[in-house]
Structure 1
Amino acid sequence: MTASPAIRRPPAGHVACGLLAGVLAVMASLPASAQSRCRAADPTGTPLNVRSGPYGDILGQVKNGTLVRIEADATDGKGKTWAYVVAIDTGQPLGWVFRDYLACS
């Protein structure tokens, strides 16, 4: 697994602040049952990009097979679901990934 930096927040007044506020509102409304144990499973065979938010800046990558836990999820304006994940082995928050690229039990 490639280490990724801490979650970055956009500066005040930045265009992304509205998106971040919306994502945080969705996260706050999710039930505790939203948490799942999953493996990264990018069908292209490349490492899965971890982002600052849905379609956000790439913070790092995780290799296929890496175990993660979903802490929250959100559906974007295009109807695609994203998941905020944490590394199971370290508990380190990683960021947002495209939900279809996770295989969950």
Structure 2
Amino acid sequence: MTTLVFASTFSLNSRANAQNMICTVTDPTGTPLNVRDRPNGKVINSLRNGRDVDILDIKSDNRGRPWARVAGYHNNRYRVWGWVIREFISCYES
């Protein structure tokens, strides 16, 4: 029971911390960042450098690289874009 309470508390704290974070696409190549349907999957979109995003989830691909599921606003509508390689998203506390 103690472990369950700890895990629940950790999860809630992680969500609270994520809500105070501002994340931005920062691809060092300067080209739009490919967005994929799953970690290392098919390209379905791209995001330009400087685009603010929310990280909804993080998973690793079969090579152990972290990928972030990102979302954000476009034309005043919030949408989930897909998965991007995590190293090209920079985050800081708001």
Aligned length: 76
What TM-score does the superposition give when structure 2 sets the normalisation length? 0.72
In structure 2, list runs of 5 or more residues that go unmatched.
1-10
Aligned to 2:67: 82
TM-superposed CA distance for 1:56, in Å, is 0.8
Aligned counterparts, 1:7-86, within 5 A: 31=11, 33=14, 35=18, 36-86=21-71
Aligned to 1:19: none
Aligned to 2:90: 103
The higher radius of gyration belongs to: 2
Confirm or deny: 8 A CA contact 1:74 1:83 kept in the other structure. Answer: yes
* SS of match in other structure, 2:24: strand
TM-superposed CA distance for 1:88, in Å, is 4.3
* SS of match in other structure, 1:91: strand
Q: Give the strand-richer structure, 1 or 2.
A: 2
Instruction: Out of 81-90 and 60-69, give the one that drifted further.
Output: 81-90
Aligned to 2:81: 94
What is the RMSD computed on CA atoms of the aligned residues?
A: 1.9
What TM-score does the superposition give when structure 1 sets the normalisation length? 0.65
